[in-house]
Amino acid sequence: MTSEEGLRRMGRSEAASGLAMISPTAIYAILLLAAPLALIFIYSFLTDGDPGIIRTFTFANYIEAWSNELYRVVMLRSLMVALTVTAVTVLLAFPVAYFVSFHVDPSRKSLWLFLITIPFWTSYLIRVFLWKVILGYNGVVNSGLLGLGIISEPLQWINYNVGAVVLTLAHAYAPFAILPIFVALEKIDRSLLEAGQDLGESRFMTFLRVTLPLAMPGVIAAVLIVFIPTIGDFVTPQLVGGPEGRLVANLIQLQYLKLDNYPLGSAIAVSAMMIVTVVSLFFLYLNRRYLRGPES
Amino acid sequence: MRGGWFKVYTLVYLVFLFAPIILLPMFAFNDATVIAFPLSGFSTKWFAALADDPPLHDAVRNSLIIAVTTSILSTTLAVFAARASTRYRFPGKAGLMGLIMLPLVLPEIIVAVSLLAVLLGLGVNLSILTVILGHVLICTPFCIAILSSAFQSLDRSLEEAAYDLGETSFSTFRLIILPLVMPGIISSLLISFTISLDEFIIAFFLAGTQATLPVYIFSQFRFPQAVPVIMALGTILVCLSIVLLCIAEFFRRRGLARSGAKDTGGFL
Amino acid sequence: MTAKPTMIEFRDVQKYYGDYHALRGINASIRAGEFFSLLGPSGCGKTTLLRTIAGFEDISSGAVLIDGKDAAQIPANKRPTNMVFQSYAIFPHLTVEENVGFGLRRAGLDKAEMGRRVGDALAMVGLTGFGKRAAHALSGGQRQRVALARALILKPKVLLLDEPLSALDKKMRELMQVELIKLQRHVGITFILVTHDQEEALVMSDRIAVMFEGQIAQLDDPETLYRRPKTRQVADFIGTMNFLPATVLSDTPDGCEVEVAGLGRCRIAADQAPPGGNGQDTVVGFRPETLTILYDGQAAPERETPGKVEEVVYYGDMTYYDVKLDGVSAAVRLSMRNVPGRPVLDIGTRARVAWSPDALVLFR
């Protein structure tokens, strides 16, 4: 603040005050975010040597990342898992957000949201581990069902596969999907819904023609908020995915920490970022088409 | 009642959300090494085992140092950014804010490997310090989100009134703005503390030999006999998070009440 | 006005929100083709009553009849009524055209017919050429016109207007008042307007129901409402009214003899002395413009009373005086048109005030 005062005395402009004010945070982000991202971008075009990195420009890492069956399968699987998790999470979350926004007394809304967010604030690692415990070969579900005599031997299909990854991630990111949809629904002027009915539409048609389009920005936000961290998730596939459930984050970790191949790891990381960016831009484009310009 | 089915659905959904967390204390107090039904008896031995585990204590100490430092640094950085973005117009604002907020939309593994690459390239030894650098990066956007709404709900004429009544811009900040955004600052501190305490991937990549609590927990998953102890530890962590969350929620509501804003509910 | 058939009928309508008694036995009928206003302070139940017609509020007991049919059987989306919402409720994700044509989906019209109908509706409200605009790019007045077109395109029997002008600035409001009157004459259907602005109600309506605390206090045409209010509350709410304590000396079916503080003894016709009241605190009321200050040499047409000017408020075309009549402690307000030869009086001047018993209303 003293710097702001100083600048004001010197008669500097608002722009200078703003830049001065933001500079500590901006410099931090430039040094520790922009520069490192630029570095792995550069790494991805270099060649791995033993030891160290050889400074010759090459596309070999990208060619390897996109043509080697091993890597391509994992990247495609990551994309499919992330899209599935996103679809499942958002579809399951929408009715919850709708209920809290439209059917809960206003004074109790925060309480419901609080209930929904509690699980999110408990250790992610522990929650994922609990799913491993629940779904495992000797886990809670199998031991419970065996104990009750419903099954005679442990179910194999519930653990260490892509399905377990989807379930665990859908659980982990549930509040992320509910909150933006809830916010979008809350913003809808309730008289719009009355207007829909007043103009002759049933409740259901009013939902389709008024509520749903107006909730789309929230749905898109939910999609992005779930999709982006999901595609880069490391813990869940590592713990509950088994060998068939490994995702791109596990691959990057393998290249960096186990194989010490930074250029290839970087190429995979940059590729993953590109996938995230392309998919995100696609959803943002959808959103813009829905909204036709800024919100009023 | 209208929305009856929605209510049933939402309650079922809440059961799904809470199911794993409810299992946690059940097995933490269960007198068996194997995590399976039926429960075999009540025991507090797994909690006792926590007290006798030096590597765990080191991990807790490391995590606390990291979380406290991270919350202070990221909240400080966020105050600057939130104030700048809500109050001033300047060239490059969208770009700079976009960069600062980028970790929100960047998979954490990318932040982790890129920082690792730079730090190793510079020859920096991995330690608590390097974890803090990474955590501040990912916590700051959350703090900015909280503080921006606190700064935004400030009526600018309050500030101008203080200025008009003869205060300097520094004393205006101290007497008017700070008290009004204080609840936001406190909830920002608490939330960045919680995020840092819980963060795994960045710590996993950047901690070197100084394991944090999540890294320690992750390493224990390999040993089946350690599972009940992890359950006990998890129970304690869940209770702590809920307490912290309640405190954060309390301050958030007080902040809203003070600035006279309407409660739109929830974080984010 | 010739007796037209009834369009809306309220039969002892009651509405409770929990313990709160929002509508306390509403009985009224609204005629086909009239411009009807529900006027009252906020919280009097006027919007609730309007929403019972639209179908957005259930009633606790009684009946609402729309064109002779019990509305309880008809859901909101099937009623022959359409509403202009206070917020206008313009769908923000649709264009002007799509907003106006929203209710036509069910009519199953082809594209050309649809376009023609929407075009006609837009022309009717003076928005030709605005069809492709995004809803959020409209001004307040334009939004209101879109809301009107959207409701009228469905050819409702009744148009409901919930404080439609309250969000507009003064100039726009006055313009829209006139346009709404013209529009109502043009389409010829029943308009029911909810407003808290007594001036707006007086300007626009054929008849007005004044509501207080969930009840209709008086239902009359604007002139009767203004000149012959039935209760002191109605008199106070509409325009400005002076009150002076009075004593009833004799009471006969064709009028009564009263002694009014400051004005003296006079006769009041029966229609100026509505029945009811608790007999305590009897007063007479009269409007500021019914009093006149007499300048030198002028003679009072009927009665005159001396007083002293206490306060002068100059409005340009008018001057308002607070005059303390001899023998009364409180001042009465009177308004004078400013014309040449009538100088504005100074505070403290002695003045002669002319008045007429015909302008008095007795509240018992």
**Residue ranges of the domains in chain C?**
6-233, 240-363
| Stretch among A94-98, A145-149, A173-177 having the lowest mean pLDDT | A145-149
Q: Say how far apart CA C353 and CA C305 lie, in whole Å.
A: 5
Share of residues in chain B with pLDDT > 90 (%):
23
Q: Looking at the predicted structure, is the pLDDT value of residue A292 above 60?
A: no
**Average model confidence (pLDDT) across chain C:** 90
Tell me the three state secondary structure of residue B42. Answer: strand
The mean per-residue pLDDT over the stretch B6-23 comes to 88
Rounded CA separation C62/A31 (Å) = 73
Mutation to test the C interface, candidates A190, A197, A198, most C Cβ within 10 Å: A198
Q: How would you label B91-112 residue by residue, b for 16+ Cβ within 10 Å and e otherwise?
A: eebeebbebbbbbbbbbbbbbb
Based on its alpha-carbon atoms, the radius of gyration of chain C, rounded to whole angstroms, reads 25
The answer to whether residue C132 neighbours chain A at the CB level (below 8 Å) is no
ipTM of the complex: 0.81
Contact B9 A18 (CB under 8 A): no
Output the six-digit token pair for C190. Answer: 């029943």
**Is B121 an 8 Å CB contact of chain A?**
yes
What would be the CATH architecture of the domain defined by C6-233? 3-Layer(aba) Sandwich (3.40)
> d(Cα B188, Cα B147) in Å, to the nearest integer?
7
User: What are C234-254's pLDDT values in tens digits?
Assistant: 999 998 899 999 888 888 888
Q: Which residue of B has its CA nearest to A226?
A: B105
User: Hey, how many other C-beta atoms are within 10 angstroms of the C-beta on C180?
Assistant: 23
Residues 86-125 of A with CB under 8 A from B: 92, 95-96, 98-100, 102-103, 109-110, 112-119, 121-125
Q: Which CATH superfamily is domain A71-292 in?
A: MetI-like (1.10.3720.10)
Cβ atoms of A162 and A81 within 8 Å: the answer is yes
pLDDT at residue C214 in the model: 93
Task: Let me know: does C218 contact C229? Beta carbons within 8 Å.
Answer: yes
Cα of A193 to nearest chain C Cα, Å: 8
For chain B, how many residues are written?
Answer: 268
The residue among A34, A102, A50, A18 whose CA lies nearest residue A262 is A50
User: From the CB of residue C240, how many other CB atoms can be counted at a distance below 10 Å?
Assistant: 13
The predicted pLDDT at position C212 comes to 95
Closest residue on chain A to B116 (Cα): A36
Measuring CA to CA, which residue among C228, C172, C159, C232 is closest to residue C200? Answer: C172
Per-residue pLDDT at C172: 87
Chain B interface, best mutation among A5, A12, A90, A125, by max B CB count within 10 A: A125
CB atoms within 10 A of CB C213: 15
pLDDT-based confidence at C219, cuts 50/70/90? very high
- Chain A to chain B Cβ contacts (< 8 Å): 277
- What is residue C279's predicted lDDT score, i.e. its pLDDT? 64
Q: Which of A286, A98, A221, A198 is nearest to C91 (CA)?
A: A198
Cβ neighbours for C360, distance < 8 A, ≥ 6 positions apart: C260, C266, C268, C272, C284, C285, C286
d(CA C175, CA C163): 15
Q: What share of chain B is helix, strand, coil (3-state, %, to 5)?
A: 75, 0, 20
The beta-carbon neighbor of B137 closest among A21, A32, A102 is A32
Residue C120 has pLDDT above 90, yes or no: yes
- Residue A100, min C-alpha distance to chain C (Å): 21
**Domain spans in chain B, listed from the N-terminal domain onward:** 20-52+232-260, 56-220
pLDDT tens track for B17-26 = 888 888 888 8
Q: Please state, in angstroms and rounded to a whole number, the distance separating the CA atoms of residues B178 and B160.
A: 15
What are C109's two structure tokens? 């019209």
Are A1 and B38 a contacting pair at CB < 8 A? no
Ranked by mean pLDDT, the top range of B46-50, B218-222, C273-277, C344-348 is C344-348
User: CA C71 to CA C79: how far, in whole Å?
Assistant: 8
Q: Tell me: the pLDDT tens digits for B56-75?
A: 899 999 999 999 999 999 99
**195-254 of A, contacting C, C-beta below 8 A:** 195-202, 209-210, 213-214
Any residues with CB less than 8 A from the CB of C80 and at least 6 apart, and which?
C66, C67, C156, C157, C158
Q: Which residue in C82, C95, C102, C153 has the most chain A C-beta atoms within 10 A of its own C-beta, making it the best mutation to test that interface?
A: C102
pLDDT of residue B41: 79
The conformation of residue B30, written as its DSSP 8-state character, comes to B
Rounded Cα gap, residues A32 and B136, in angstroms:
10
Q: Tokens for B13, please give them.
A: 């959904």
Strand partners, C37: C193, C208
Which of 166-205 (A) contact C at CB < 8 A?
189, 191-192, 194-202
Q: Which of A9, A55, A130, A185 to mutate to test the interface with B (most CBs of B within 10 A)?
A: A130
- What is the rounded CA–CA span in Å between residue B114 and residue A43? 10
Residue B3: what pLDDT?
63
Cis bond leading into C229, ω under 30°? no
Residue A135 confidence (pLDDT): 82
Which residues numbered 28-67 in C keep a CB inside 8 Å of some CB on A?
Answer: 54-56
pLDDT tens-digit map of A185-204: 999 999 999 999 999 898 89
CB contacts of A17 in chain B (<8 Å) are 88, 90
| Residue pLDDT, tens place only, C63-91 | 999 999 999 889 888 899 999 999 899 99
> Which subunits count as partners of chain B given 3+ CB pairs below 8 Å?
A
Q: Give contacts of C 253-292 with A, CB under 8 A.
A: none
With contact defined as beta carbons under 8 Å apart, do C177 and C204 qualify? Answer: yes
**Rounded to an integer, what distance in angstroms lies between the CA atom of residue C194 and that of residue C44?**
11
Rounded to the nearest angstrom, the gap between the alpha carbon of residue C314 and the centroid of all alpha carbons in its chain is 27
Contact: C83, A195; criterion CB under 8 Å: yes
Q: How many CB atoms lie within 10 A of CB B179?
A: 10
Question: Is a pLDDT exceeding 50 seen at residue A74?
Answer: yes
Which 3-state string (H, E, C) describes chain C? CCCCCEEEEEEEEEEEECCEEEEEEEEEEEECCCEEEEECCCCCCHHHHHHHHHCCCCCCEEEEEECCEEHHHCCHHHCCEEEECCCCCCCCCCEHHHHHCHHHHHHCCCHHHHHHHHHHHHHHCCCCCCCCCEHHHCCHHHHHHHHHHHHHCCCCCEEEEECCCCCCCHHHHHHHHHHHHHHHHHHCCEEEEEECCHHHHHHHCCEEEEEECCEEEEEECHHHHHHCCCCHHHHHHCCCCEEEEEEEEEEECCEEEEEECCCEEEEEEHHHCCCCCCCCCCEEEECHHHCEEECCCCCCCCEEEEEEEEEEEECCCEEEEEEEECCCCCCEEEEEECCCCCCCCCCCCEEEEEECHHHCEEEC
CA distance C11 to A261: 85
Does A262 contact B at CB distance below 8 Å?
A: yes
Residue in the block written with tokens 């998730």: A233
Q: Note whether B166 contacts A: Cβ–Cβ < 8 A.
A: no
Query: In Å, how far is A195's CA from the nearest CA of chain C?
Result: 6
Residues with Cβ within 8 Å of residue C135, at least 6 apart in sequence: A296, C90, C91, C92, C93, C94, C95, C96, C99, C143, C146
What are the CA-CA distances from residue C118 to residues B245, C98, C179 (Å)? 54, 9, 19
Contact B137 A95 (CB under 8 A): no
Rg, chain B, Cα only? 22
The CA distance from C217 to the nearest CA of chain A, in Å, is: 29
Residues of C in contact with A209 (CB under 8 A): 102, 105
Tokens of B267: 């974080």
Q: Return the sign of the alpha-carbon dihedral for residues B20, B26, B28, B31.
A: negative
Instruction: Judge contact between B210 and B62, C-beta under 8 A.
Output: yes
CA distance A116 to A98: 13
C106 in contact with chain A, both atoms CB, cutoff 8 A: yes
List Cβ neighbours of C275 (8 Å cut-off, separation of 6 or more).
C364
Interchain pair B10, A99: CB under 8 A: yes
Rounded to whole angstroms, the Cα distance separating C9 from C13 reads 10
Tell me whether chains B and A touch (3+ CB pairs under 8 A): yes
Size of interface A-C (CB pairs under 8 A): 75
Would you place residue A10 in the very low, low, confident or very high pLDDT band (cuts 50, 70, 90)? very low
Cβ proximity of C285 and C274 under 8 Å: no
pLDDT value of residue C153: 92
C153 close to A (CB below 8 A): no
CA B174/CA B170 separation, integer angstroms: 6
Beta bridge partners of C307: C325, C351
CATH topology of domain B56-220: MetI-like fold (1.10.3720)
> Residue A293 — pLDDT band, cuts 50, 70, 90?
very low
B84 touching A (Cβ < 8 Å):
yes
User: For the stretch B10-25, what's the b/e string if a residue is b when 16 or more beta carbons lie within 10 angstroms of its beta carbon?
Assistant: beebbeebeebbebbb
Does C105 touch chain A if contact means CB atoms closer than 8 Å?
yes
The answer to whether the Cβ–Cβ distance between B10 and A100 falls below 8 Å is yes
pLDDT in tens, C132-143: 988 888 888 899
Chain A residue with Cα closest to C103: A199
Q: Would you call C83 and A200 a contact, using CB atoms and an 8 Å cutoff? A: no
Closest Cα of chain B to A290: distance in Å? 22
Which residues between 166 and 205 in chain A have a beta carbon less than 8 angstroms from any beta carbon of chain B? 171, 174, 179-180, 182-183, 186
The superfamily (CATH) of domain C240-363 is Nucleic acid-binding proteins (2.40.50.140)
- E strand or H helix at B86: helix B54-87
Helix H or strand E segment including B143: helix B128-152
CB contact under 8 A, C89 and A195: yes
pLDDT band for position A155 (50/70/90)? confident
Residue B50 — pLDDT band, cuts 50, 70, 90?
A: confident
Cα C71-C73-C76 angle, rounded to 5 deg = 65
Q: Which pLDDT belongs to residue C33?
A: 93
